Structure 1
Amino acid sequence: MQYDILLIGGNGFVGRALAAQLQLAGYSVLIPSSHPAMGRELRMLPKVHVEEADVHDFDELQSLCARVKPGGAVINLVGVLHDRPAQPYGKIFKAAHVDLPKNIMTAMQMHGLKRYLHMSALGADSNGPSMYQRSKGDGEAAVKASHLDWTIFRPSVIFGAQDQFINLFAKLTKLFPAMPLANHQAQFQPVGVEDVATAFIKSLTMPKTIHQSYDLVGPKIYTMREIVELAARKAKTTCAIIPVPAFVGYLQALAFEFLPGPTLMSRDNIASMQLPNVLPANGIDALGEVFKISRRSLEGI
């Protein structure tokens, strides 16, 4: 069977929202996943097919692209948040943010596919202060150098009912009566997951979005402290926030990196916070001005 859309990274937080919207819009969707059992709710969508595949294997990637209809599109949402320190970035970031997009685009060209939607990140910059930002910046450069009909999306922190950002702080405020918080003045402009998904879908039928990059942000800027306070209110708990110097946050992140289980915060995350994660002063509110989307607020989560 051939599909309208190959959705790479479709089994994640953003991917599940996007797959549901694609289904509603009438698209048939193929989602490759190394953990297909995690996408149980996706299996309830009749036009969405999840199957086991390793997108980092080029032969499998070619096989997947061969199953996209002529005139169909490939959407790449793959992103990772943590890696071991290296210059300019480690192997995990390189594999996910640079090598994979290059391989996807090569496989697309081999099968005559042109339309490619790419998930980057606000602040992506090949010369940025963090490994994450630099790897995302190099990924964008590779996309722009291709001969495909590409569109790049650069969201701020993405929130939603199942996000790993607000929910993390909500859990922490339940566990601890007080929270030492470094970089408490770091700024973010969180954007709703459904709004991000809608922008992706609208771009599929908007030729003017080809060869364009769009910053995706919510309607309001928050400091890190304000986000944690909001998370505490949502969790119906109280948590005293204790601002601490940046070097304390660095030491906390270093400790988190060596604890068992998933990394909650890394030194690279701290480096990313050196720059405000908000719409640039001369930036365009793409959700409102280009895609005509009424943006959801963080308070309405």
Structure 2
Amino acid sequence: MKVLVAGGTGFIGRNLVRELHERGHEVTVLARNPDEADVPDGVERAMGDVTALASIEGAFEGQDAVVNFVALSPLFKPPRGLTHMSVHLGGTQNIVRAAEEHDVGKIVQISALGADPTGPTDYIRAKGQAEEVVKRSDLRWTIFRPSIVFGEGSEFLSFTKMLTPPYLAPLPGGGKTRFQPIWVEDFVPILADGLDEAHDGEIYRIGGPEVLTLADVAKLVRRAEGQPVTVVPLPMALAGAGLKVGGAIPGFPMGADQYRSLKFDNTVPDNDATEFGVDPEEMTTLGEYLGVTSGEFS
């Protein structure tokens, strides 16, 4: 199968590119700077910006499927000149249009848990509206809504380190926001399987083997570096006020939207990994990945 991976130079995207290549697919990476991509020999590269339709159309010619990984992180403020709507919604609109015009058969859309066109954050609203574009298209489609994905180069771990200084760490609400982290190497085989027709028209909510609070994650990350940490609850109202002020400062990495994202959990009610023959209990935990046992942060 000929597969175009839009955003294939990112953290999850480059892992999927490797997985697809190892499975024998003909893979093309579409990115703004594809020459910088760390991809296996034999993977093609195409330059384009999904917010500019004319720049990407040529990459869709002759493709059987497209995987849309293009995204802005929900953890940090978007770079100047970009918004969640322009990238997630506008980019998806352009990808769908180019795919339809070039007779691409299928799109695999990487969305987010809680995606909702009228949701509580810009990120969640943009992801929800992008899903609607995909579902209304003429393409066969499969949508994935993952929890936080971790691994080498993941923003989640660097974000946690930034938010959590060693020894004493004030976390919004005491770090009670819950996540269900999944290791990237457990996730990408599921994504690759999503190209199969058997998964057409489905929305899959995928999480890892355990539910952890932000405080749990912080303690694991610091313990792995030999730096114990005590979490001090920071009232949500105070944290919100601080981020609102800080968000107005150029270069400050977080803002009101990131604060709102910490007010709701990022977990799955039922883990759809089982639909791909995967037992969540056999997945790699965050503690195992970091070399820290789960009992060490309780």
- With normalisation by structure 1, the TM-score equals 0.86
Per-residue deviation, 1:104: 0.9
Letter paired with 1:4: K
2:162 counterpart of 1:179: no
Q: Matches of 1:29 and 1:300 in 2, distance apart?
A: 31
Q: For 1:246-281, what per-residue CA distance to the aligned partner results, in whole angstroms no more than 9, with x for missing partners?
A: 022213323543455472x3321221232221113x
Letter paired with 2:135: K
- Going from structure 1 to structure 2, the CA distance change for 1:38 and 1:236 (only over 3 Å counts) comes to farther
3-state DSSP of counterpart to 2:247: helix
Q: Matches of 2:187 and 2:245 in 1, distance apart?
A: 33
2:186 counterpart of 1:195: yes
2:125 counterpart of 1:134: yes
Q: Matches of 1:30 and 1:233 in 2, distance apart?
A: 39
Letter paired with 2:239: G
Match among 135, 142, 148 for residue 139 of structure 2: 148
Q: Matches of 1:176 and 1:219 in 2, distance apart?
A: 26
Aligned positions of 1:82-121 closer than 5 A: 82=76, 92-121=83-112
2:48 counterpart of 1:53: yes
User: Matched residues, percent identical?
Assistant: 28
Per-residue deviation, 1:134: 1.1
Match of 2:65 in 1: 73
Match among 232, 257, 273 for residue 287 of structure 1: 273
Aligned length: 282
Q: Matches of 1:247 and 1:113 in 2, distance apart?
A: 48
Match of 1:270 in 2: 259
Per-residue deviation, 1:163: 0.8
3-state DSSP of counterpart to 1:165: helix
Per-residue deviation, 1:171: 5.6
3-state DSSP of counterpart to 1:117: strand
- Going from structure 1 to structure 2, the CA distance change for 1:58 and 1:256 (only over 3 Å counts) comes to same
Letter paired with 1:161: E
Per-residue deviation, 1:36: 3.0
3-state DSSP of counterpart to 2:153: coil
3-state DSSP of counterpart to 1:50: strand
Structure 2, unmatched stretches of 5+, are 290-298
Letter paired with 2:265: P
Q: Matches of 2:226 and 2:188 in 1, distance apart?
A: 29
Q: For 1:53-93, what per-residue CA distance to the aligned partner results, in whole angstroms no more than 9, with x for missing partners?
A: 2232212221111142xxx1100011112557xxxxx9611
- Structural RMSD (CA): 2.2
Q: Matches of 1:77 and 1:5 in 2, distance apart?
A: 13
Match among 104, 113, 125 for residue 122 of structure 1: 113
Q: Matches of 2:262 and 2:244 in 1, distance apart?
A: 15
Per-residue deviation, 1:29: 1.3
Match among 220, 228, 243 for residue 210 of structure 2: 220
Q: Matches of 1:257 and 1:33 in 2, distance apart?
A: 28
Q: Matches of 1:160 and 1:190 in 2, distance apart?
A: 10
3-state DSSP of counterpart to 2:170: strand
Q: Matches of 1:153 and 1:7 in 2, distance apart?
A: 15
Letter paired with 2:169: M
Q: Matches of 1:260 and 1:194 in 2, distance apart?
A: 35
Q: Matches of 1:65 and 1:96 in 2, distance apart?
A: 18
Structure 1, unmatched stretches of 5+, are 85-89
Match of 1:232 in 2: 222
- With normalisation by structure 2, the TM-score equals 0.87
- Going from structure 1 to structure 2, the CA distance change for 1:295 and 1:65 (only over 3 Å counts) comes to same
Match of 1:169 in 2: 160
Q: Matches of 2:87 and 2:19 in 1, distance apart?
A: 25
Letter paired with 1:7: V
- Going from structure 1 to structure 2, the CA distance change for 1:67 and 1:261 (only over 3 Å counts) comes to farther
